[in-house]
């Protein structure tokens, strides 16, 4: 078990009608002039933005709007947001949406609280020393950005997708009303569930030992998401199932499921290149990659995959042959992805890639052959290429 | 599933040698003049206080000392602390110890940040509007006060033990080095483990439904504590087991295991009167009471106790007779307490109470017949008396 820090200061306000508390929560944080940041038109059409605006007005909080955040949020809009906020003297950033909107708000926050070009942080050229306060009304359960320290931005020039993490950007509050996720398309719901499970898997698949508590929390979380994701495929307006998934999304990425672990994150890195190049839904991209990653690495410590299979999927343990139980757990996970109508290959994701494109993915993912990825098994460019080929 | 708020902003710094970071953590919080608050002489003898003082001095932080906190911390010392801190212009309270020391520091914090008598808050006469910042170096895994919003103080006049809860008192940071708990006497280790399990049980035994995620986290936590508590009975210097228990202690009482639940807390209320009257170890008192409480209430919803038995204790489910599985789970839990050499009656706790004393306990616990307790089953004075008699 590794030493660890756990710091998840976001105030979560969870349940029905909680969006009406938004104004009060911003006031509590000292905000008086807000950027209302959002994505497409659904928040407007559903009346959610109106309810939030009413809640701000009730507290005497003024606001300016900036919509148009796209999945895999773009640097150009971040820059636009920074300029707008400077001009409008904004002191609080409210993200109404899912991970993309929150990540965009976090990037705007970095840009406002630090001198120089905001992309520098994502390019790992320097570190931020502050971030303007961000809060969120969450409408998609997936990315976990509402409690996490991370944000991921895509630079259109070269379609480079990069993440930056620091405690400064953690949301001051997160309003989570599971009802707001009722109208998500099936594909997006499923993709979100995969993302949530993967956030825990990236921490769970580790060679660490002596982490029974973190393991049991992670296993319980994964079981819960798998169980309730299937409910939502048939009954998308099931409040309890939406609630379990939504809360799991936050706990999966706020650090809790990684306490004491050495983490992996290879699947995420492999997928980031895919979704930067082809603009696919992040969760779907993860589903397309994960099985190939797992088959490539599981022999590093088959007991770990076997434990996952037994404790999460209910596969009987074969202690004389961990590898067999491990392989079964990988197959069973892919069957779960398929039950959610998620792809388990890049082909099923909708792309038939040439060898040249696979090479390009591996080249980019290895940062032009300058980095390795993965903690469970360290992967170099050659390994990445092999996994992309397996996932083809 | 109930709406809920989850707010656990304490920065946890967990692992070996982490106490050397104390000075840095206080500086991060803006502290420059510290009250070093502790209990008996063990922190001095072990060299822990010296290591912490060195860490403060390294950061140029000055301090005054106030030791002598006893289990079930006393109001008189809290008052002494308030006077000392005013005189010495202290701006940060550092609790080095377990729940009693942290609770004492929190009470001092309330006294410093609010006008008037600090007992008013515990007597529920008024609410606090602030608390001086508190941080801790934890040396006992039990109370969970390092991440909780609560503190419990005993007023010597009449031996009244009362709790007060607010987010203001939450520790800014908690340094947790499991090695610091190696030298705890067996009885105190066991008592701490019972307290940790009970903090989750008080939230878990609920008539709420649709809380699969919270349930699975709670069940995993209880399994982990039971498993590792038994390890510590034989091998008190087992780092991994100490670490699981210590981290479980914080997560058990920071709100995580209660998200979405209606909570119970009857066992704690029943025990508070016991330990106020007889100054027994809190966890041991809980073990002495719990089985009687459980037998008195389980028929309200035997399925819940059956689920606990199956998911935490591994008892086979008998779906044709939940009550049977429920009763087995209560018996099995008492056997676990016995395996830790914990009492399962007030007699075993060391006291043979007269009917008059039992009446007095029920009278006090019902706040002179003016309150009921419990969420799983609401209990009045008569119920309390019956449970005390069963636990006799």
Q: What confidence tens digit (pLDDT) does each residue in A336-370 have? A: 999 999 999 999 999 999 999 999 999 999 999 99
Q: How far apart are CA A54 and CA A22, in angstroms?
A: 10
Say yes or no for a CB contact (<8 Å) between A244 and B6. Answer: no
B interface mutation test: which of A3, A9, A11 has the most B CBs within 10 A? A3
pLDDT of residue B158: 86
Q: CATH topology for A11-180?
A: Rossmann fold (3.40.50)
pLDDT of residue B44: 87
pLDDT of residue A267: 98
pLDDT of residue B279: 78
Biggest alpha carbon distance in chain A?
A: 67
Contacting residues of B for A219, CB less than 8 Å apart: 220
Q: Is the pLDDT of residue A382 over 90?
A: yes
So what's the ipTM on this one? Answer: 0.95
Q: What is the mean pLDDT of residues B39-59?
A: 93
B345: confidence class by pLDDT, cuts 50, 70, 90 = very high
CA distance A168 to chain B (A): 13
Strand partners, B95: B37, B136
- The CATH class of the A184-391 domain is mainly alpha
Q: Provide Rg for chain A, Cα atoms.
A: 20
- By Cβ distance, the residue of B4, B12, B217 closest to A14 is B4
Question: Which position has the higher pLDDT, B161 or B106?
Answer: B106
Q: How many CA atoms lie within 13 A of B104 on its CB side?
A: 30
Chain B positions touching chain A (beta carbons under 8 Å): 1-9, 11-16, 18, 209-210, 212-214, 216-217, 219-221, 223-224, 227-228, 239-240, 243-244, 247-248, 251, 256, 259-260
Q: Is B89 exposed, middle or buried (0-12, 13-18, 19+ CB in 10 A)?
A: exposed
Say yes or no for a CB contact (<8 Å) between B220 and A224. Answer: no
Q: What is the mean pLDDT of residues A146-160?
A: 93
- By Cβ distance, the residue of A7, A14, A243 closest to B12 is A7
CA dihedral A199, A203, A204, A209 (to 10 degrees): -170
Q: CATH topology for B186-391?
A: Dehydroquinate synthase-like, alpha domain (1.20.1090)
B interface mutation test: which of A214, A216, A254, A257 has the most B CBs within 10 A? A216
Q: Which residues of B165-194 are buried (b: 16+ CB within 10 A; e: fewer)?
A: ebebbbbbbbbbbbbbbeebeeebbbbbbb
Report long-range pairs for B85-91 (Cβ below 8 Å, ≥24 apart).
B85/B35, B85/B112, B85/B132, B86/B112, B88/B33, B88/B35, B88/B64, B89/B33, B90/B33, B90/B34, B90/B35, B90/B64, B90/B132, B91/B30, B91/B31, B91/B32, B91/B33, B91/B34, B91/B132, B91/B133
pLDDT of residue A229: 98
Q: What is the mean pLDDT of residues A28-33?
A: 97
- Counting one residue from chain A and one from chain B, the pairs whose CB atoms sit within 8 A come to 115
Q: How far apart are CA A70 and CA A83, in angstroms?
A: 19
Contacting residues of A for B180, CB less than 8 Å apart: none
Q: How far apart are CA A275 and CA A277, in angstroms?
A: 5
Q: Is the pLDDT of residue B167 over 90?
A: yes
Residue A215, C-beta contacts closer than 8 angstroms, at least 6 positions apart: A204, A307, A311
Q: Is B316 exposed, middle or buried (0-12, 13-18, 19+ CB in 10 A)?
A: exposed
CA A152 to chain centre: 9
CA distance B83 to chain A (A): 31
pLDDT of residue B135: 98
CA distance A1 to chain B (A): 7
Say yes or no for a CB contact (<8 Å) between B18 and A3. Answer: yes
B275: confidence class by pLDDT, cuts 50, 70, 90 = confident
pLDDT of residue A72: 86
Tokens at B370, concatenated: 């003016």
Mean pLDDT estimate for chain A: 96
Q: Is the pLDDT of residue B276 over 90?
A: no
Q: Domain coordinates of chain A in residue numbers? A: 11-180, 184-391
Segment (H or E) for A275: helix A266-278
A225: confidence class by pLDDT, cuts 50, 70, 90 = very high
Three-state SS for chain B is: CCCEEEEEEEEEEECCCHHHHHHHHHHHCCCCEEEEEECCCHHHHCCHHHHHHHHHHHCCCEEEEECCCCCCCEHHHHHHHHHHHHHHCCCEEEEEECHHHHHHHHHHHHHHHCCCCCHHHHCCCCCCCCCCCEEEEECCCCCCCCCCCEEEEEECCCCEEEEEECHHHCCCEEEECHHHHCCCCHHHHHHHHHHHHHHHHHHHCCCCCCCHHHHHHHHHHHHHHHHHHHHHHHCCCCHHHHHHHHHHHHHCCCCHHHCCCCCCCHHHHHHHHHHHHHCCCHHHHHHHHHHHHHHHHHHHCHHHHHHHHHHHHCCCCCCCCHHHHHHHHHHHHHHHHHHCCCCCCHHHHCCCCCHHHHHHHHHHHCCCCCCCECCCCCECHHHHHHHHHHHC
Chain A positions touching chain B (beta carbons under 8 Å): 1-9, 11-16, 18, 209-210, 212-214, 216-217, 219-221, 223-224, 227-228, 239-240, 243-244, 247-248, 251, 256, 259-260
Strand partners, A106: none
Q: Is the pLDDT of residue B134 over 90?
A: yes
CA A205 to chain centre: 17
CB B44 within 8 A of CB B52: no
pTM (predicted TM-score): 0.97
Q: What is the mean pLDDT of residues A177-191?
A: 96
């Amino acid at each position: 078990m590794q030493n660890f820090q756990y710091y998840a200061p976001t105030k979560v306000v969870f349940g029905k009608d909680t969006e009406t508390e938004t104004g009060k929560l911003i006031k509590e944080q000292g905000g008086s002039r807000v950027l209302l940041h959002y994505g497409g038109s659904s928040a407007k059409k559903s009346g959610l933005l109106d309810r939030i605006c009413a809640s701000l007005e009730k507290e005497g909080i003024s606001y300016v709007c900036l919509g148009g955040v796209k999945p895999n949020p773009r640097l150009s809009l971040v820059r636009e947001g920074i300029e707008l906020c400077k001009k409008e003297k904004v002191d609080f950033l409210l993200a109404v949406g899912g991970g993309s909107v929150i990540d965009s708000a976090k990037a705007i926050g970095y840009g406002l609280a630090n001198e120089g070009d905001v992309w520098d942080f994502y390019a790992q050229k320097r570190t931020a020393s502050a971030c303007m306060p961000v809060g969120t009304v969450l409408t998609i359960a997936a990315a976990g950005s509402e409690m996490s320290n991370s944000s991921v931005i895509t630079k259109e020039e070269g379609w480079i997708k990069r993440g930056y993490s620091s405690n400064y950007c953690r949301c001051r509050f997160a309003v989570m009303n599971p009802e707001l996720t009722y109208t998500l398309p099936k594909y997006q719901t499923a993709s979100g569930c995969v993302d949530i499970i993967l956030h825990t898997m990236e921490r769970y698949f580790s060679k660490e030992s002596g982490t029974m508590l973190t393991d049991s929390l992670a296993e319980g979380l994964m079981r819960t998401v798998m169980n309730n994701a299937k409910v939502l495929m048939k009954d998308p307006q099931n409040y309890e199932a939406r609630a379990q998934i939504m809360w799991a999304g936050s706990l999966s990425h706020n650090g809790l499921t990684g306490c004491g672990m050495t983490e992996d994150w290879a699947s995420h890195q492999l997928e980031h290149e895919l979704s930067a190049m082809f603009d696919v839904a992040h969760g779907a991209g993860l589903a397309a990659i994960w099985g190939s990653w797992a088959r490539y690495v599981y022999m590093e410590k088959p007991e770990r995959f076997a434990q996952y299979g037994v404790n999460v999927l209910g596969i009987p343990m074969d202690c004389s042959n961990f590898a067999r139980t491990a392989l079964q757990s990988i197959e069973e996970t892919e069957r779960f992805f398929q039950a959610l109508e998620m792809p388990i290959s890049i082909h099923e994701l909708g792309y038939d890639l040439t060898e040249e494109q696979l090479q390009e993915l591996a080249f980019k993912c290895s940062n032009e052959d300058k980095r390795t990825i993965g903690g469970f098994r360290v992967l170099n460019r050659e390994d990445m290429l092999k996994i992309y080929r397996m996932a083809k």
